[in-house]
Structure 1
Amino acid sequence: MTRTSAPVDAPVADAWEGLVTTALLGTDRRTPPGSRPGPEAPVALLDAAATETVRRRAGLRPARAAERPQAAPEDPRPPLPPAAARRLALLLADRPGPSGGGRRGAAPDLMELLPQWLAAANSHGFGPPPHTLPALLDAARGRTDLRPAVLEFAGPRALWLARLNQDWRFALRSARGGGAALPHVDDDERTQQLWQEGLFAERVALLSALRSREPASARELLATTWATERAEDRLMFLDSLRSGLGPDDEPFLEQALADRSRNVRATAAELLSALPGSALAARMAVRAEACVAVDHTQTAQATPTPTTPTTQSTQPTPVIAVEAPHECDPAMERDGVVAKAPAGRGERSWWFGQLIEAAPLGTWSRRLGGRTPREIVALPVADDWQGELHAAWCRAAVRQRDAEWSRALLGDPSAPEAGGPGAVSLAERAKLLGTLSAAERAEWVAGFIATHGLSEAFQLLGVCAVPWSGPLGRAVVDALNIARDAGSYPWSFSGVMGLAERCLDPSEAGRLDVLLAVPDEPENASPGAGGYWAEAFQRLVTTLRLRAAMAAELGAP
């Protein structure tokens, strides 16, 4: 049967828009052009749309074919061993499931092992299988912490792909120089051109790379355009001078103390105070010495030590007296002291802390009677200034990378105050540990855990080198075992257990087998705690063995 349709009017310029509007409103409310209301109106609308579609397509002119993209660059690095390539595919295929009130199950969390796998692969200089590049870039897109390792492993082909896919543009921003090739160290002409004409990311990358190779050349390059840079750019460029900071940088930094930007002035002052021989450090030392002195008129009774006989009289101990500054004069502000105190903070204590942290730590032995850092830290401080003084010394020790002062401020890890809210907080202790060698760090944290347990140790464990040393690993496992036997609430240790999975030496897996059984629950234990502990230790052992297999697949000893 032949179907007849309503006549369609000749097309007009806005015919397509009219048909779309009619379809949205419905033919009951708006009749298509050239048709009558009724059951045939929808058919007329479809016929008109078909006719208009043909007309629109017939009027298109063929576009010029786009240029084919250039071939992907070669990656000269050796390919992954086959077993390691298969492992990478498994790690990338793993996706965290929906949260169910805490991580459960005995299976390892593969995505949490990906950063460690990438670090090992990069240390061996392997290149990725080309087909894994999209998955690598997708993983880095979702986790910013993965980006440096992913981009190093993915190599130049990742940047080539990023230029073709908007979703991966972050790779161009994250790569050194925004993905641009930096000039050779001897190519002065290209260096000058990139510094004068390059994008901001390219200029930052150029300055950082040059600073790592030739600190003086980087500083001289920065000086050529310093006066014309924007304040926020000057701040970023100035921050690059932290690498290779030395006495030769002092004249440039002294000039930056007069910068019109407060943030630039503060950064310049911080860098100068990290140079104990600088003129700013000397000025700060004079100001700080005026605030701190030994007061022999006030004494505190010394606390007997375990080696001191109780019958022996103890000598009175001198007291450190503090007189905080009464004003913040323009000279102090020029040297980086921020005059306005934060909300809830007293002005005088605010100024005092800034002076102490900027003064060279060598000042205090001379000022306080030739005492060693440990002896100085042990002195009582009058009028409740101890917390403020010790916190400022902590910041100075971290800034000046002074290991002797760090040891003195850390104290004995087994001391009762080490695990409580003493003059030096756990956050400050974590920063102080960063100034020590990896072995000394691990030894101190192991001693802390052996005495105080794991409840306050998470922040300290984060600064320890991976894999953990034998004594530190055993201290963590022993503390977890003690918590398990005591029937402690298991979920409160999930963070430490997760760290152990990533940081414990895989060789420790064998000695953990005895912890896999479900323990007898004490009378006051949390319900289900025994099963959770057994499950958590099973996951720990499985993860350690998986890490050992990953290392073997990459050819690591």
Structure 2
Amino acid sequence: MHQAGRRDEEREAGGPEWGELVSAALLGGERRRPPGGSATALLDAAAAETVRRRAGVRPAVPRQRPRPAPEDARTPLPTAAEQRLATLLAERAGSGPGHAGAAGRRGAGPDLGELLPQWLAEANRRGYRAPADLLPALLDAARARTDLRAETLAFAGPRALWLARHNPDWRFALRDGARRRIPGAGEDPGAGERVWQEGLFAERVAVLSSLRRHRPEAGLALLASTWQTERAEDRLMFLDSLRQGLSEADEPFLERALADRSRTVRATAAELLAALPGSALAARMAERARACVAPDRVRGGGIVVEAPPECDAGMQRDGVIPKPPTGRGERAWWLVQLVEASPLDVWCERLEGRTPEQIIALPVADGWRDDLHAAWCGAAVRQRNAAWARALIGEPIEPFAEGPGDPARLLSVLPEEERGAWAARFIAAHGLSEAFRILGVCAVPWSLPLGRSVVDALEIARDAGSYPWSFSGVMGLAERCLDPSDAERLAPLAAVPDVREEESPGAGAYWAESFQRLVSTLRLRGTMLAELGERG
């Protein structure tokens, strides 16, 4: 009786009664007897209940209509380029004609989805605005691929941010977009301060990154204003933002951060100070390193090394990590860290006025050469010193495994033209087995000598009987990085060669297909550039 009375009260309140009607309608009269005994009675009861429920709803408070999307005054795309963009976006979504089949084999057609980054970069270079009807697809593409976000947001412009405020799936645009502009510039000068004080962590990082790009001193002041109250993990991320616009003006703040209670914060502060050759930390590290590395007065003409006997408290405060990685000796580990954090100009003075090339050529006593050269490589990359990077990388006569440093990292310090010329010589000497890393730091499109060296190496690999998928990474780079004008020169490679006895089964046909794809991709890239150059 008690339960029956409660059900009656719930029906009066419009609760289970409505649920019972919905259940009966979903199950159907064949599976469950509807209330009232028939479908007509069910519909009548549902109609009456609907009126009763709506009559009891309180009027909603009207919301303010959203502001119209901002105008974008940039030049609209040419018609052909707009159609091409729609095709590239459709391919990215997996619906285009070049989409890989179930077996994953690409075929001889170009991979349109991989051409989208280059298309966006060229459209931005020419100052076009995105078509309004393609903005949702562009934002979906950038949501799926973080490498597209910078170019996509630049192309999509202010309307992308307007859309992102109305769709949580595109919220990344608000965060990443804030990193590329001064928050509130031209509208509300206090907007960045409010976000810093009240915003979410990602929004605060965006504000700090943007300020460091445009007004580094204002970003530092903002960070310093709340530094003592930030969590350790947040302090680490905020400190990392100081890499943008790093200068001597940041030194006093970074020196104070060396005493932070978090070990990772201290290490990051030390790393940033070491990147400032004129900092007090760099001078302290140089003094320690000079005591370890000196001209070899006994044997003459070389370098003698005496690694530090201990890692004292002062060294640890300046960022030297006391415990070495597995398999590394303690003293060698400490030595490398000291030399890597020291200004490279110290060694020209310490070693009797020699140039970097002359210093690198000196013999190093007692087997310390690799450790010392590895430390100089790290210093050259950290300090962006092209003279030392050039001396350390030398001529590409040795494969990667035999050198003390990473040629790809050293190459990134050199001017673009010099990178391409060195990479071309490396590929000519060693082929493509280790080329992928160095090609990744070369300017696009590749220079003529670099492009020719890559294609020549691919021909050599084909003639040696290898299968093309062993070089799929390099072939993919060639499709995106060779100059489109090379298409006709490479067209003869797309022909199926005669089968030779020593050749792997089917290798010639697979190579022909790979070169066909390369040529068709280069031709398509040339067409894309021409479409973007048209004026309506």
**TM-score after normalising by structure 1:** 0.84
Cα distance, 1:275 vs structure 2:
1.5
How far residue 135 of structure 1 moved from its aligned partner, in angstroms, is 0.9
Q: What corresponds to 1:357 in structure 2?
A: 340
Change in CA separation of 1:19 and 1:472 when aligned onto 2, cut-off 3 Å: same
Judging changes above 3 Å, is the alpha-carbon distance between structure 1 residues 510 and 228 closer, same or farther for their aligned structure 2 residues? same
1:326-360 CA-to-partner distances (Å, cap 9, x unmatched) read 32111111111122333443332322221111011
1:192 is displaced (CA, Å) by 4.2
Q: Which amino acid aligns with 1:376?
A: I
**1:496-521 Cα shifts (integer Å, max 9, x gaps):** 11101101011111211121111134
Q: Select which of 436, 442, 453 maps to 2:420.
A: 442
1:339 matched residue in structure 2: 322
| Residues 347-383 of structure 1, C-alpha deviations (whole Å, 9 max, x = no match) | 3232222111101111222333333222222233344
Which residue of 2 is the match for residue 78 of structure 1?
A: 75
Note if contact 1:19-1:49 (Cα within 8 Å) is conserved in structure 2: no
Rate the CA distance shift 1:374–1:57 in 2: closer, same or farther, 3 A.
farther
SS of the aligned residue for 2:304 comes to strand
Could you tell me which residue of structure 1 aligns to residue 91 of structure 2?
A: 94
Match of 1:264 in 2: 265
**2:402 corresponds to which residue?**
422
Q: For residue 55 of structure 1, what is the aligned residue in structure 2?
A: 49
Q: CA deviation at 1:262?
A: 1.7
Query: Is the Cα–Cα contact under 8 Å of residues 288 and 356 in structure 1 kept in the other structure?
Result: yes
1:409 to 386, 392, 398: 392
Summarize the Cα distance change of 1:366–1:79 in structure 2 as closer, same or farther, 3 Å threshold. same
Q: Within 5 A, what are the aligned runs for 1:241-256?
A: 241-256=242-257
Matched, 1:134 2:108: no
CA distance in 2, matches of 1:455, 1:167: 41
- How many angstroms does 1:548 deviate by? 1.0
Contact 1:182–1:206 (Cα < 8 Å) also in 2: no
Q: Are the structure 2 counterparts of residues 123 and 53 from structure 1 closer, same or farther at C-alpha, using a change threshold of 3 Å?
A: same
The question of 1:322 aligning with 2:305 is answered yes
Distance 1:250 1:219 in 2: 11
Cα distance in structure 2, aligned partners of 1:475 and 1:122: 30
Tell me the residue number matched to 1:295. Answer: 296
Q: Which residue matches 1:312?
A: none
Supply the AA of the counterpart residue of 2:522: L
Q: CA deviation at 1:184?
A: 4.3
- Stretch of structure 1 that moved more, 261-270 or 433-442: 261-270
Deviates more, 1:164-173 or 1:530-539: 164-173
* Equivalent pair of 1:280/1:335 in contact (CA under 8 Å): yes
Deviation at 1:482, TM superposition (A): 1.4
Query: Which amino acid in structure 1 is aligned with residue 184 of structure 2?
Result: L
Amino acid at match of 1:119: A
Q: Could you tell me how far 1:174 is from its partner in structure 2?
A: 2.4
Identity of aligned residues (%): 61
How far apart, CA to CA, are the structure 2 residues paired with 1:190 and 1:17?
A: 49
Per the alignment, residue 175 of structure 1 pairs with: 177
SS in structure 2 of the partner of residue 421 of structure 1: helix
Relative distance call for 1:481 and 1:98 in structure 2 (3 A) is closer
Range that drifts further, 62-71 or 382-391: 62-71
Q: Using a 3 Å threshold, how does the CA distance of structure 1 residues 86 and 189 change in structure 2: closer, same or farther? A: closer
Which of 491, 496, 514 is the equivalent residue of 1:536?
Answer: 514
Distance 1:195 1:173, change over 3 A: closer
What amino acid is aligned across from residue 462 of structure 1 in structure 2? G
Q: For residue 296 of structure 2, give the secondary structure of its aligned residue in structure 1.
A: strand
Residue in structure 1 matched with residue 220 of structure 2 by the alignment: 219
Which residue pairs with 1:375 in the alignment? 358
- Residue 377 of structure 2 corresponds to residue 394 of structure 1: yes
Give the TM-score taking structure 2 as reference length: 0.87
Could you tell me how far 1:283 is from its partner in structure 2?
0.8
2:127 is the counterpart of 1:144: no
> Secondary structure, in 3 states, of the residue corresponding to 1:107?
coil
Change (3 A) 1:63 1:424: farther
Q: Which shifted more, 64-73 or 534-543?
A: 64-73
Taking the aligned partners of 1:103 and 1:39, their CA distance within structure 2 comes to 50
8 A Cα contact 1:365 1:373, kept in partner: yes
Q: Partner amino acid for 1:483?
A: A
Name whichever of 471-480 and 230-239 sits farther off.
230-239
List aligned pairs for 1:470-489, cutoff 5 A.
470-489=448-467
Q: Deviations over 1:404-455 (max 9, x none)?
A: 1101111102x1x2x2411335xx2111111110000001001101111111
Report if the CA contact (8 A) 1:172-1:178 is conserved. no
Contact 1:410 1:424 in 2 (8 A): no
Aligned amino acid, residue 498 of structure 1:
G
CA distance in 1, matches of 2:301, 2:21: 90
Shift of 1:228: 2.7
* Long gaps (5+) in structure 2: 1-6
Instruction: Return the letter of the residue paired with 1:72.
Output: A
Quickly say closer, same or farther: Cα 1:513–1:247, change in 2 above 3 A: same
Residue 121 of structure 2 is aligned to residue 113 of structure 1: no
Matched residue type, 2:157 = G
1:257–1:335 CA contact under 8 A, matched in 2:
yes
Name which of structure 1's ranges 450-459 and 213-222 shifts more when overlaid on structure 2: 213-222
Q: Is the 8 A contact 1:449 1:479 kept in 2?
A: yes
Would the aligned equivalents of 2:21 and 2:35 in 1 still touch at CA under 8 Å? no
Residue type of the alignment partner of 1:362:
D
Whether contact under 8 Å (1:320, 1:382) holds in the other structure is yes
User: Is the Cα–Cα contact under 8 Å of residues 468 and 514 in structure 2 kept in the other structure?
Assistant: no
Aligned residue identity for 1:114: L
Shift of 1:105: 1.1
SS at match of 2:423: helix
